[in-house]
Structure 1
């Protein structure tokens, strides 16, 4: 279930457009099992995921002198928190196509913040929180630690191009040992507004995706990316 957290910053606009870029195998897995994959936070490429900026770390070290195990708690949390990342953008992103898809055969799910929240509400097994990522200078700026989710909602300025919204779940209360990630049930029909096909893909690939969606019992709108549309000159 999706639970609002007043301390986590999030736009109130339910019509804000968000995207998930992925390859065909991950897309099929999503439709076939009707489950959203959430990656363990310490498995992301960025080694700073779930860690603190230098000013915050210095502050925590002082607290740890009086509270043994304080630092160990935060280190352990990186293995207990799972994340699903989404890209905020009114339009397609050429950079996201390049980074998250390969061999011209990827696709992108377009939805809205409101649809994502409604789709997550169908899950009663785990509690999810949604927040916007803040991009800061880790050498100078402070990351608050009053809320255990805050370390996972800050990234270095080098990643600003991601414009990320995150679905976050802490599996600690469930006594789970997570390997690479966790799949959670989600209302697929509510989640997906439209599917966009890689701009460099061939027509047969678009037809394949359309047929695949149909055979799995869905009727989502499937569009070819317009980043490779004909030049009007």
Structure 2
């Protein structure tokens, strides 16, 4: 039985989006797999980092400890301040994530950031569909990323929990993550603490049931008609029963 580690909850009914280019989409439906990136591959240098607020919380608790003299407590405090951040961050080589955008509606920003050409598309689904579609032996954690002031204490203690924390600078992403610890690689390390220098794969493909995953497909707001029709043909070829819609982000509606 896997250890139950709580992460920020995500209701199964929550609508999520994955904005893609054409090669990424074809990879998903041809392989029937989703790409999970090692968290060191993300742009944010604070991935799998412990907020300074959490370190301060631990330091304060130690200084209130009545069973040790002041010299011993200060030695313990120094060890926490020096070793805890590096200890947590060393796990970034072993934690893998697949990211989605949480929104009831399309996002102009996400189209511009993640679909750089007119031949882009987005998968619309729900958290429940993603949870059901994933086929993995890993202990998969699915949750909403929390955007906090780094001086604030999160209360988290396990490395994978810190995969669900980011600074407010990234709040526009409204990110949902599916994450796991690559325990096969972790078991190769001699000792209980992760070795940051141990070479691990930059990413892994994890099996997924594509028909269960996809609810709707939206084609880019600037995509030509032939691209829209081609996506329909591709879905028919792979026997995927999903509605294909043209994005209405730049279309003026009389009911608006």
TM (norm. structure 1) is 0.87
Matched positions, count: 227
Match of residue 168 from structure 1: 179
CA distance in 2, matches of 1:106, 1:208: 12
The equivalent position to 1:132 in structure 2, one of 140, 144, 157, is: 144
2:34 is aligned, of 33, 36, 42, to: 36
Structure 1: 4+ residue segments shifted above 3 A: 3-6, 57-64, 66-73, 173-178, 230-233
Aligned pair partner of 1:107 in 105, 121, 125: 121
Distance 1:38 1:66, change over 3 A: closer
Task: Note the aligned Cα RMSD (angstroms).
Answer: 2.6
Correspondence for 1:54: 52
Residue 154 of structure 1 is aligned with which of 165, 169, 183?
A: 165
Structure 1: gaps (5+ residues):
none
CA contact under 8 A between 2:55 and 2:81: conserved in structure 1? no
Whether contact under 8 Å (1:38, 1:182) holds in the other structure is yes
Change (3 A) 1:155 1:68: closer
Could you say which residue in structure 2 is the equivalent of 1:117? 131
Deviation at 1:5, TM superposition (A): 4.7
Contact (CA 8 Å) 1:64, 1:70: kept in 2 or not? Answer: no
**Greater radius of gyration (CA):** 2
Q: Which residue of 1 aligns with 2:65?
A: none
Deviates more, 1:91-100 or 1:222-231: 222-231
Shift of 1:161: 1.2
| Correspondence 1:1-233 to 2 at 5 A | 5=4, 7-11=6-10, 13-57=11-55, 65=79, 71-120=85-134, 123-138=135-150, 140-173=151-184, 175=187, 178-230=200-252, 232=254
Call closer, same or farther: CA 1:72–1:47 in 2, change over 3 Å: closer
Q: CA deviation at 1:205?
A: 1.0
Q: Secondary structure at the match of 2:249?
A: helix
Aligned counterparts of 1:51 and 1:165: Cα–Cα separation in 2: 18
Residue of structure 1 in register with 2:62 after alignment: none
SS at match of 1:158: helix
**Secondary structure at 1:78's aligned position in 2?**
helix
Deviation digits for residues 97-139 of structure 1 (CA, Å, limit 9, x no counterpart) = 111111122111000111111112xx2422211111110111x
Q: Is there any run of 5+ residues in structure 2 with no aligned partner, and where?
A: 60-75, 189-198
